[in-house]
Amino acid sequence: MEFKFSKQEEKFRTEVENFLKEELPTDWPDKSMHWPGGYGSIEIENKENQRIFLEYRKKLAKKGWLTISWPKGYGGEEHSYMEQAIFDEVTSYYRATASGISTGIAGPTILRFGTEENKKDWIPGIANAEIDLWLGYSEPNAGSDLASIQTTALKDGDDYIINGQKIWSTLAHESDYAWLIARTDPDGHRHKSVSLFIVDNNTPGVTIRPLINIVGVHSFNEVFFDNVRVPKKNIIGQENMGFYYLMTALDFERLMVGIGGFRRVFEQFVEYVKQTEKDGAPLGENNNVRQKLSEIAVKIEIAYMFFWRTAEMLDKGNVPSVESSALKLVTTELSRNLADVAMEILGPYNQLMPGSEWAPFSGMAPRGYLDSISATIGAGTSEIQRNIIATRGLGLPAR
């Protein structure tokens, strides 16, 4: 046992940190209003920042850092998953999380299950940060129960024709392609009749309608598919195997927890209570505040261990599955918890939204209090993660 990073890992960490300090504006971490664990606020909301961020991601792609752990033939560096994890930790600490759906979910899933043609078609664009994908899983009647999706993709010559509706489609309006599940065999078994597709947003018949979330941000959408024609080669892996691929894709998704973001907010609050007086005494001397923050410190430490564990497993050749669910559960419950504690510490000032002159941290806490609602729902609810841990993990009988 050794609870420390290797020399090489430490060196890599410093390299990433130095890169971020050089490439990002110094006030970048303060600009982002993203709440750790939340799915509802986009990291960067104005166009100028989006431009800076895109440039930064392109540079990361050039360095091969978006695909550190991928095989060499596919634009990767074949470095350890631990280095990948270190990269994710540091970038999220700087509020500049660079791994996303394309490099964190679609890429790894294609590398695992895709045909050679799939890899040739999609991997270079993904590795070079040239294409962005959105997740087309949920439908109005299929949330936790994804096997009940009703969107169909029916064969028509060399194409498939897609009909149906997706919902909660985060950033569909800012992406190029849908990473979509649809039913290819309407009469088949629930789990053996679904296929995974990549669908160009610009195909005729795709309509994207905005949904405004409770944070007030247009983060997600409803997407309608009306006789959308997709070439057969856009199926990932084998037809009707999509539900199995999806399970792995979800495991990959649940590894992307932006763990460093928790550390960042926590440090901000520790600083705040040291410097702020409440009713005539420093907040940091208040016993309740001390206990609450210390509890958060413990929870962050625990969450980090779950996080490093998944990377370490991958390096040992095992694929985290239940471990992904545990990590997702631990970090998103922490997201809520952190929001509660942040709000409690701010007292009456916790009501002040961004833009208010008296708002501590430019209103990040009440915004996070809203966004944290999405943490325990998006990417599979807490209840579903507990079900997975209990059934898949412990072998308890499923109902």
Ligand X SMILES: Cc1cc2nc3c(=O)[nH]c(=O)nc-3n(C[C@H](O)[C@H](O)[C@H](O)COP(=O)(O)OP(=O)(O)OC[C@H]3O[C@@H](n4cnc5c(N)ncnc54)[C@H](O)[C@@H]3O)c2cc1C
Contacts with other proteins, residue ranges (CB under 8 A): 40, 138, 141-145, 148, 167-168, 211-214, 216, 277-280, 288, 336, 340, 343-344, 347-348, 350-358, 363, 366, 369-370, 373-374, 376-378, 381-383, 386-387, 399
Cβ-based nearer residue to ligand X, 69 or 331: 331
* Smallest distance from ligand X to CB 158, Å: 27
Q: Which partner from the list ligand X, other proteins, none does 396 bind, CB cut-off 5 to 8 Å by kind?
A: none
Q: Which partner from the list ligand X, other proteins, none does 369 bind, CB cut-off 5 to 8 Å by kind?
A: other proteins
* Smallest distance from ligand X to CB 226, Å: 19
Q: Which partner from the list other proteins, ligand X, none does 277 bind, CB cut-off 5 to 8 Å by kind?
A: other proteins
Cβ-based nearer residue to other proteins, 20 or 342: 342
d(CA 68, CA 89): 14
DSSP letter string over 97-156? ----IIIIIIHHHHHHH--HHHHHHHHHHHHTT---EEEE--BTTBSS-GGG---EEEEE
Q: Which partner from the list other proteins, ligand X, none does 366 bind, CB cut-off 5 to 8 Å by kind?
A: other proteins
Q: Is the dihedral of CA 305, 306, 310, 316 positive or negative?
A: positive
Q: Which partner from the list ligand X, other proteins, none does 352 bind, CB cut-off 5 to 8 Å by kind?
A: other proteins
Number of Cβ atoms within 10 Å of the Cβ of 116: 7
Cβ-based nearer residue to ligand X, 344 or 383: 383
Q: Which partner from the list ligand X, other proteins, none does 212 bind, CB cut-off 5 to 8 Å by kind?
A: other proteins
Q: How open is the CA angle 44-129-166, to the nearest 5 degrees?
A: 70
* Smallest distance from other proteins to CB 348, Å: 5
Burial of residue 362 (CB within 10 Å: 0-12, 13-18, 19+) is middle
- For the record, the structure tokens of 121 come out as 């078609």
Q: Which partner from the list other proteins, ligand X, none does 94 bind, CB cut-off 5 to 8 Å by kind?
A: none
Residues that bind ligand X (CB under 6 A): 39-40, 134-138, 143-144, 168-170, 220, 374, 377-381, 383-384, 387
DSSP letter string over 23-38? HS-TTHHHH--PPTT-
- For the record, the structure tokens of 14 come out as 């410093």
- In three-state form (DSSP H/G/I as H, E/B as E, the rest C), the secondary structure along 247-259 is HHHHHHHCCCCCH
The b/e string for 174-209 (b: 16+ C-beta within 10 A; e otherwise) is ebebbbbbbbbbeeeeeeebbbbbbbebebeebebe
Cβ-based nearer residue to ligand X, 127 or 384: 384
Backbone angles phi, psi at 16, to 5 degrees: -65, -45
Cβ-based nearer residue to ligand X, 276 or 381: 381
In the bound complex, which residue of the shown chain has the CB atom lying closest to ligand X? 143
* Smallest distance from ligand X to CB 171, Å: 7
* Smallest distance from other proteins to CB 387, Å: 8
d(CA 110, CA 235): 10
Cβ-based nearer residue to ligand X, 179 or 361: 179
Cβ-based nearer residue to other proteins, 79 or 336: 336
Cβ-based nearer residue to other proteins, 161 or 208: 208
Number of Cβ atoms within 10 Å of the Cβ of 373: 19
* Smallest distance from other proteins to CB 78, Å: 38
